[in-house]
């Protein structure tokens, strides 16, 4: 929703949100309270919108295994284009879901998913639309003394099969006392402070070869990104060489690269400088919003 707020701040753009539990969390953008009896045609009368933006297939359900909350006439509502910003296409098990909803375009957060979806869903426009970060929130804090350790902090725990590479890396680094691992999920300001409090943070692209949003947040906060080497994820198109540090997927150089980050200060500073420059030049929310509006203009003549 930070990204949605950035869209709403743009001149000549008006954005409103509507959905299950949306009022409770984001009242400033709320159109009207959610009601399962409200139809798309009712929303169109209330707010004469030109486009519909959906934030991921998974968020169209009341619970992970629950019923879809979209208005009952959503599938057949074809008055305006429907754009889905999708971060979890790799978890999809129903290709018909997108066409059944009448989706016109999918903005794929991950390079690998974009290439896959172009083959699986040729009738729908699939465009690579990488993650971005709010640099007004995620930034280095010179008042915080960084601990000279690699840190891992995650929202999905550790022993998740999809994140095999980071799980294995954590276990290896723990045996040589090079890593600090948070046992529980932390959010909000505590999470940001964590990214500002260590010289480096560990990441893993998962078995699906994706680049997580956390990577952008780590780099923006001035912490060295240590992640697995995965060119299939398209990381080389996001960040230039020497703006992050990689370990091999057989982990043969993991410890040596971790030690280089921790003990070579000039190397660490060089990586950080290039990382922050790249984030500010290519991957802020403001930059991504401009790219988003350019897409709307190119394909739909909007904005």
Rounded CA-CA distance 82/47 in Å is: 16
Give the C-alpha separation, 251 to 172, whole Å: 9
Contact 128, 108 (CB under 8 A): yes
Residue 290: per-residue pLDDT: 97
* CATH of span 147-282: 3.40.50.2000
Per residue in 8-62, pLDDT (tens digit) is 999 999 999 999 977 666 678 999 999 999 999 999 999 999 999 999 999 999 9
pTM of the model: 0.93
- ∠ CA 299-22-44 to the nearest 5 degrees? 50
pLDDT digits (tens, 9 = 90+) for 231-241: 999 999 999 99
Would you give per-residue pLDDT tens digits along the chain (303 residues)?
Answer: 889 999 999 999 999 999 997 766 667 899 999 999 999 999 999 999 999 999 999 999 998 768 999 999 999 999 999 999 999 999 888 989 999 999 999 999 999 999 999 999 999 999 999 999 999 999 999 999 999 999 998 765 556 788 899 999 999 999 999 999 887 788 899 999 999 999 999 998 889 999 999 999 999 999 999 999 999 999 999 999 999 999 999 999 999 999 999 999 999 999 999 999 999 999 999 999 999 999 999 999 986
- Cα–chain center distance at 183: 22
Radius of gyration of the chain (CA): 21
Q: Edge-to-edge strands of the sheet including 82-86?
A: 52-54, 82-86, 105-108, 125-128
Domain coordinates of the chain in residue numbers?
2-132+284-300, 147-282
Helix, strand or coil for residue 118?
Answer: helix
CB contact set of 215 (below 8 Å; sequence gap of 6+): 131, 203, 225, 227, 244
- Going edge to edge, which strands form the sheet with 224-228? 179-181, 147-152, 198-202, 224-228, 245-247
How many angstroms separate the CA atoms of 125 and 117, rounded?
Answer: 9
């Amino acid at each position: 929703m930070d990204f949605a707020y950035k869209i709403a701040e743009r001149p000549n753009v008006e954005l409103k949100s509507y959905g299950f539990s949306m009022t409770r969390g984001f009242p400033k953008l709320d159109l009207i309270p959610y009601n399962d009896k409200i139809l798309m045609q009712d929303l169109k009368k209330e707010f004469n919108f030109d486009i519909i933006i959906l934030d991921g297939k998974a968020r169209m359900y009341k619970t992970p295994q629950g019923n879809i909350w979209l208005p009952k006439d959503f599938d057949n509502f074809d008055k305006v284009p429907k754009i889905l910003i999708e971060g979890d296409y790799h978890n999809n098990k129903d290709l018909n879901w997108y066409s059944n909803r009448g989706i016109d375009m999918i903005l794929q957060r991950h390079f690998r998913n974009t290439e896959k979806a172009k083959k699986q869903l040729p009738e729908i426009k699939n465009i690579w639309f990488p993650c971005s970060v709010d640099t007004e929130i995620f930034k280095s804090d010179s008042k915080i003394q960084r601990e000279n350790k690699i840190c891992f902090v995650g929202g999905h725990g550790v022993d998740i099969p999809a994140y095999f590479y980071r799980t294995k890396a954590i276990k290896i680094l723990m045996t040589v006392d090079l890593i600090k691992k948070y046992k529980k999920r932390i959010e909000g300001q505590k999470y940001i402070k964590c990214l500002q409090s260590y010289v480096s943070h560990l990441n893993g692209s998962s078995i699906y070869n994706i680049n997580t949003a956390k990577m952008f947040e780590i780099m923006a906060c001035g912490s060295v990104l240590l992640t697995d080497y995965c060119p299939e994820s398209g990381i080389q198109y996001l960040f230039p060489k020497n703006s992050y540090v990689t370990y091999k997927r057989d982990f043969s150089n993991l410890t040596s690269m971790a030690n280089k980050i921790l003990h070579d200060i000039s190397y660490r500073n060089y990586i950080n400088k290039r990382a922050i420059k790249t984030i500010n030049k290519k991957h802020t929310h403001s930059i991504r919003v401009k790219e988003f509006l350019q897409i709307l203009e190119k394909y739909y003549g909007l904005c």
